[in-house]
Structures are given as C-alpha cells and as structure tokens.
Amino acid sequence: MRQIGLKLNTFAGLIVAASAIFLHQSAFAADPAKVVVAAYGGSFQDAQTKAFFDPYAKTTGAKVIGTTGSGHAKIKAMVLSGNITWDVVSADAAAYESEMKDNLLQPLDYSVIKADGIPANLRTKYGIGYMKFSENLAWNKSKFPNGLTPAQFFDPAVKARRVLLALPYYNLEFALLADGVKPSELYPLDVARGLKVIDRIKDQIVGFKPPSDVQALIQQGEVDAAFAPGGRVNNAIKAGANWAYTYDGSVTVVEYWAVVKGAPNAAEAMKFINFAVQPKQQAELPRHIFYGPTNIDALKLIDPSVAKDLPGTPENEKRSAILNSKWWNENLDSVTAQWNTYVMR
C-alpha cells in the first residue's frame, strides 16, 4: 500500500528537490524511443516490471526506465523548476488529485490510448485508472474459526488483540461502515462518529502501525485481528499465517497512470499507457501481486479461482466502499490533526 500523496510543506523543500532533479537530468534526456516511469519500488514495482515494463520494451523495442519515488512533491519540484525527468507516473488516487489540482499533469491522448474496457469514470482527462488495491478486515482463524464481522471488530465484548494502520484514512471509513453507514453515504465523513467507534475497542488495540509492521505482527502471531492492506494479508497467508479476510467493510483504492506536464518523452508515454491498460497486460499484474484490474475485459483472462479474491472485482466491490480521494485531498490536514490528537491521548 502507498501513503496518500501530501503537499510540500515548505518552499525550501521544493528547492532541494529541484536541485537534486537537475543533477540527474542528463540521465533522463529526451529520447523518442524511451519512456521513464516513476513508481514506488519494492514488490509493486517488481510486479509492474514483469507485467508492463519488460513486455513493452520487448514488444516495441523502446527502452523503459523504471525509477522510484513517485509522489506529488517530486513532481511539483520538477514542473516548477522546468527540469522534467519523468514521463509517466503511477499515482494513487489522492496523489493524482493533488497533481491534477496543481496543474502538474498534461492531458492524455485518447487517440492513442484505447481503453474501452475501463469504466468511463476512470478514463479522465489527466489520468487513467489501471489498478485497484484494498484495505480489508482480517483475522486469525484459530481465534475466530467462524470468521469476524466489521461490527464484531469494534465490539468491546469480542476480546482480541487488534491492529490498525497508522492513518486516519481507511480506518475512519472502516469504523463508519462497521457502525452501519452505507458506502454511498460515507462522504463527507463523520469524523467524530468514526473516532467514537474506534474508541470502543481502543484498549484492545496493540498499536497503529505501518503496513509492513502489520504484516509482521500477523506472521509472528502477535495480533488476532487487523484492518490492513489486502496484499499484506495475502502475503502473510502465503508465508504460513492461518488467517482469512473479507471484503465486507473493505475500502478500495484506484491507482492511476498519468503523464507529467512537459514530459520529455510524452509521445512514447502515451503509447506505453495504451499498452499497459490493455486486457492482456492488466491480467498479467495479478500474477505477480495481489492487485485487481480496472479493465473489465481483463477479468475474463484471469483464472476464476484467482479473480474471485482480487480487489475491485464486481462482486467484491459490491461489499466495499471506494475511497473518495477528492474529499481526503481537501480535508486531510484537518482530519490528520484530529487523528493524531486522538491516537496520542
């Protein structure tokens, strides 16, 4: 899972980032047969390389350079300085909203990008949704052989060592869904109500942890229940954890491809995105990481036994809420302040 993209805090930060970009610009000079794609590194970028980068290079002969550090702050520094070193960026929904709002992206060329299988609401002027990940309720099957519901997670009478992410987003949605709020009525979030729901079981929360720590706690048997990235839970299960998860009360998040404003290889960027949103390539990604496609035709190419468990599939999405990244983009600072005060007290 990736953190929601945040704004730069100071002008000095922009200058430092811009200076670093300038020092490395020569390595990313314009080349019509090259495309530089910025993502997040780790297992996700390994999967992107196998599903998108390497196949595109092999098919077209173009050189694909995968780099890390994708984020709103770096893109803003590039555009403000005029030293653009990236072409395509992989951006979570909130980072994409920030980049679009700050005029850091250029319009996609839909005469090149053909993506009829992707829902119209994900084919936007400046970005195209290509992947979905989710946050899920999970539990130790030895502790809860009959499963666990969202309502039970927040029931103080159900004794368990719980863990939540160290974030206000996802957690507040989960708490409100568990308290009976319909997915269609989540936003604007009732933050006070969500915190009161979490407060019911706060004394049973082991901690508010980052995703890697949540996975470690699951694998080490130090918690009984978690609300965590589905990919992390899935990895823990593969590593031997006797756990299960559900899409009831889950939160789904969309990841976008976008092109940086002034990208040196914009034409190749459009061709790469077109390649990466086709059904065949989208169906390839879940073979390497627990993320779901956005192209409905890709689902037909995925083994049904795999597809049924992926985030974003129609059946699973009926049981989940979609993160409203625009709302969070506008309210993150104020809600984070409330969240931090709550967690510390």
CA nearest 244: which of 124, 147, 162, 343? 147
pLDDT in tens, 55-112: 999 999 999 999 998 888 899 999 999 999 999 999 988 889 889 999 999 999 999 9
Q: DSSP letters along 103-144, please? A: T-B----TTT---TTS-GGGB-SSEEEEEEEEEEEEEETTT-
The domain locations on the chain are 11-132+253-320, 134-252+324-344
In the beta sheet, which residues pair with residue 105? 260
In the beta sheet, which residues pair with residue 21? none
Q: What pLDDT does residue 215 have?
A: 94
pLDDT in tens, 209-221: 999 899 999 999 9
Using DSSP, state whether 226 is helix, strand or coil: strand
The total of other beta-carbon atoms located within 10 Å of residue 193's CB is: 13
Q: DSSP letters along 50-84, please? A: IIIIHHHHHHH--EEEEEE---HHHHHHHHHHT--
Q: What is the mean pLDDT of the segment spanning 122-126? A: 96
Q: DSSP letters along 256-321, please? A: EEEEBTT-TTHHHHHHHHHHHTSHHHHHHGGGTSS-EES-HHHHTTS-HHHHTTSTT-HHHHTTEE
User: What's the fold here for domain 134-252+324-344?
Assistant: D-Maltodextrin-Binding Protein; domain 2 (3.40.190)
pLDDT at residue 4 greater than cutoff 90? no
Tell me which architecture the domain covering 11-132+253-320 has in CATH.
3-Layer(aba) Sandwich (3.40)
Query: How far apart are alpha carbons 172 and 165 in whole angstroms?
Result: 11
Domains 11-132+253-320 and 134-252+324-344 share a fold: yes
